[in-house]
Amino acid sequence: MVTPAPRAVATAGPVLVIGSGLLGASLGLSLRAAGVEVLLEDSSPTSLRLAQDIGAGVPLADRPGAAPRLVVVATPPDVAGQCVVEALRTWPEAVVTDVASVKEAVAGDVLSAARHERAPDFASRYVGSHPMAGRERSGAGAADADLFYGRPWVIVAHPGSSASAVLAVRNLAGDVGAFPVELDASSHDRSVALVSHVPQLVASLLAARLAEAPSEALGLAGQGLRDTTRIAASDPRLWTSILAGNAGPVAQLLRELSADLAELLDHLERAAELGPLRGGSVGAVNRVMEAGNRGVARIPGKHGGAPRRYAELEVLIPDTPGSLGRLFTDLGEICVNIEDLVLEHSAGQHVGLARIMVDPGRHAEAEDALEKRGWRLITHAGQTR
């Protein structure tokens, strides 16, 4: 395979990482891999030890006299603001950032502390960060040097942040393979409410309907239900802490959704009473569906391009060992590049369906070649979408 080109490292160490959970330890590993000196601090001696053992850095306590040039606060979000303020006090020469997933609250803590500080550059050394690289698992045990690779890293300067502090954080993002996106705190918080926090709560509210449902109904679950509820399996503790810090923007979006839902419900209840073609439910459902069509069409595809620019092969996968492997081997021999792939199966199903996105120019040929090799395809006219 092609190995990425070696990285030019812009970050000057030592970097102090406070908090050695998933993000802190992954950051340490990644910076160490780039040859940057990393110091670690954690209120839990066990977590600190684990991060040290996996090679994420060395404890700050073992390097008396060390002077970090960059401090990264990677604590739980509800204490991030306080930790940033303490770091700005403790390390008057350092740029300080944090990786909490809500940014206005942290900046607020820094600016309110700055009013009581003598150092004029106190707040200017702070720039917020939000690497978009969460996972279902937590702790240094789940850490990986490649966690940030190819992910957006939001950089959140406040009006008093110095240009050199912004540059230091942008360099950090680039050095661990992320791509920087600059937003102000309020835009950031509203953006993550939209693309992350509200979808999380809506998925949980939807999945909650399944908790007491009859098993016979769950036996009919297909890919739609699986997709819409997948993230409802996320960790309640982590999300409770994230959402507590972003209640305003989340509430505003949920209020809008709630108003749409109330209108829809009103029409459906009248239709249930008066019959399917009365009560205005046809128009109400149509409005909701069309607004959904418009919304989902705006999600950028791979590399920000237009979604669905590939043609799709739909191949039935028998449930026998090695079927998928054989399919990919066959695709390789046919020399068709797989642009994207989705596997579908439903409960009780003895066969899966692979939807394989390929170059539209190669589609018909690939379909023929796969059928010649004995695969069953779902074929149809008007393939390219």
Stretch that binds its own copies, among 85-93, 119-127, 160-168, 248-256 (CB under 8 A): 248-256
- Which of 373, 352, 343 is closest to 365 using CA atoms? 373
Is there binding between residue 254 and its own copies (CB under 8 A)? yes
Is there binding between residue 107 and its own copies (CB under 8 A)? no
CA dihedral 99→100→101→102, nearest 10 degrees, is -130
Question: Could you tell me the smallest distance in angstroms from the CB atom of residue 144 to its own copies?
Answer: 4
Structural tokens at position 223 = 């890919």
Q: Which residues pair with 355 in a beta bridge?
A: 314, 342
Which one among 176, 271, 311, 313 touches its own copies, defined by CB under 8 A? 271
Residues 108, 109, 111, 115, CA torsion sign: positive
Closer to its own copies by Cβ: residue 54 or 95: 54
Question: Could you tell me the smallest distance in angstroms from the CB atom of residue 300 to its own copies?
Answer: 4
Q: Which residues 177-206 are close enough to bind its own copies by CB under 8 A?
A: 179, 181, 183, 187, 190-192, 194-196, 198-206
Closer to its own copies by Cβ: residue 70 or 315: 315
User: What is the distance between the alpha carbons of residues 25 and 51, in angstroms, rounded to a whole number?
Assistant: 6
Q: At how many degrees (to 10) do helices 236-244 and 247-274 cross?
A: 110
Closer to its own copies by Cβ: residue 89 or 135: 135
Question: Could you tell me the smallest distance in angstroms from the CB atom of residue 53 to its own copies?
Answer: 11
Question: Cα angle at 111 between 107 and 112, to 5 degrees?
Answer: 115
Structural tokens at position 55 = 């090679």
Question: Could you tell me the smallest distance in angstroms from the CB atom of residue 305 to its own copies?
Answer: 9
Instruction: Please say whether the beta carbons of 56 and 29 come within 8 A.
Output: yes
Is there binding between residue 309 and its own copies (CB under 8 A)? no
Instruction: Please say whether the beta carbons of 113 and 86 come within 8 A.
Output: no
Closer to its own copies by Cβ: residue 91 or 152: 152
- How many amino acids of this chain bind its own copies (CB under 8 A)? 154
User: What is the distance between the alpha carbons of residues 54 and 73, in angstroms, rounded to a whole number?
Assistant: 19
Site string for its own copies, 279-308 (x = CB under 8 A): x-xx--xx-xxxxxxxxxxxxxxxxx----
Is there binding between residue 372 and its own copies (CB under 8 A)? no
φ, ψ dihedrals at 78, nearest 5°: -75, -15
Which one among 6, 45, 65, 374 touches its own copies, defined by CB under 8 A? 374
User: What SS3 class is residue 98?
Assistant: strand
Which one among 74, 250, 313, 366 touches its own copies, defined by CB under 8 A? 250
Which one among 233, 364, 372, 384 touches its own copies, defined by CB under 8 A? 233
Closer to its own copies by Cβ: residue 12 or 179: 179
- Which of 308, 362, 371 is closest to 335 using CA atoms? 362
Which one among 59, 76, 152, 160 touches its own copies, defined by CB under 8 A? 152
Closer to its own copies by Cβ: residue 160 or 199: 199
User: What is the distance between the alpha carbons of residues 131 and 153, in angstroms, rounded to a whole number?
Assistant: 4
Pairing of strands 70-73, 95-98: parallel
Closer to its own copies by Cβ: residue 171 or 234: 234
Q: Which residues 26-85 are close enough to bind its own copies by CB under 8 A?
A: 78
Instruction: Please say whether the beta carbons of 128 and 98 come within 8 A.
Output: yes
Closer to its own copies by Cβ: residue 162 or 200: 200
